[in-house]
Every structure is written in C-alpha cells, then in structure tokens.
Structure 1
Amino acid sequence: MTSYQDTAEPHLAYLMRRTALPMPAQFAISFAVLVTKWSVRRRSRQHLAQLSAHQLKDIGITTHDAYVESTLPFWRS
C-alpha cells in the first residue's frame, strides 16, 4: 500500500518527516503569518474603499457592503 507521504510532492514529504520547530520559532512564524494576514486585509479594504459604484456592481458588492467592509479594523475578519 502506498502512503500519503510516498505520493505527495517531494518537498511536502520532506516537510512531513521533519521534527517540530522549537517553540520560539513556532511563535515567530505564527506572528509573521498574523501580521501578513492583517497587512493583506488592510490593503484589500483600502482598495475596496476606492472602487467606484460601477466597479463594485461588477464584482457583485453593494456600495453599503463595501463601506461596511472597508471601515472594519484590520484585525477583524
């Protein structure tokens, strides 16, 4: 029988065989992912706020929905 690790991409199999990272490294990676997520949200909301009514209609969002989403703080999803 073939296991998932045998059929996975070589780099994924390598990552699955590795030991867990030390706690400070796990914390640093988690923090970096969180800050990146916040940055993407902030940028996306800024761009959303700049779209015209016609552009919002093209993507299926009302002006009110765009306003509500664009005024949310970056840490709220």
Structure 2
Amino acid sequence: MREVGDLYVALQERRESGARQPLRELGRRWRLLHRRLSTRRSLLQLDASQLADIGLTAEQARAEATRPFWRLLR
C-alpha cells in the first residue's frame, strides 16, 4: 500500500509544480500537427488573388503545403 501512496504524492507534486503530463503533451502536439496539416492543405485550394492577399505566390504556397509532416512540428 505504501507504493500507491508514494505514487499519489509524486503525482500531486508534479501537478502542483505545473509540469506537463506526457499524455496531455502528446495531445497538444497532435492537435498542433492536425491544425498545421489542415491549414497547409487549405493553401492548395486558394486562387491567385487569395494568395496575393496573404502575400504568397503559388510556388510558395505549394512549397509550404507539401512540406514533410515531421517538419511541421518545428
């Protein structure tokens, strides 16, 4: 029983210290990746005038939209 109490105390200390929990961090990074993927996918749907409004050329939009997913988390 002592181990369970020690685990509880350790979790409470971690929660109080503001340290991120691994699953929450994973969820946060997954949401970030999903948002970036969908945003970049949307770039491919914009026409030339819409791209000009945001200051991008078609080539820049295509290059950004086709970046490898592992580079999106940087």
Q: What band does the TM-score fall into relative to the shorter chain? A: 0.5 to 0.7
Q: Cα distance, 1:49 vs. partner? A: 0.9
Matched, 1:66 2:61: yes
Return the structure number with greater relative CO, CA threshold 8 A, min gap 6. 2
1:44 equivalent among 39, 53, 62 = 39
The two structures have a TM-score, normalised by structure 1, of: 0.65
The whole-number CA distance in structure 2 between the counterparts of 1:19 and 1:52 is: 52
Unmatched segments (≥5 aa) in structure 2? 1-11
The two structures have a TM-score, normalised by structure 2, of: 0.68
Instruction: Report Cα offsets for 1:19-58 as digits up to 9, x if no partner.
Output: 433xxx7100110011001100110011011100110001
2:14 equivalent among 2, 16, 20 = 20
% same residue: 35
The whole-number CA distance in structure 1 between the counterparts of 2:22 and 2:29 is: 10
1:35 is aligned with what amino acid? W
Number of aligned residue pairs: 57
Unmatched segments (≥5 aa) in structure 1? 1-17
**Aligned residues: CA RMSD:** 1.8
The whole-number CA distance in structure 2 between the counterparts of 1:58 and 1:36 is: 27
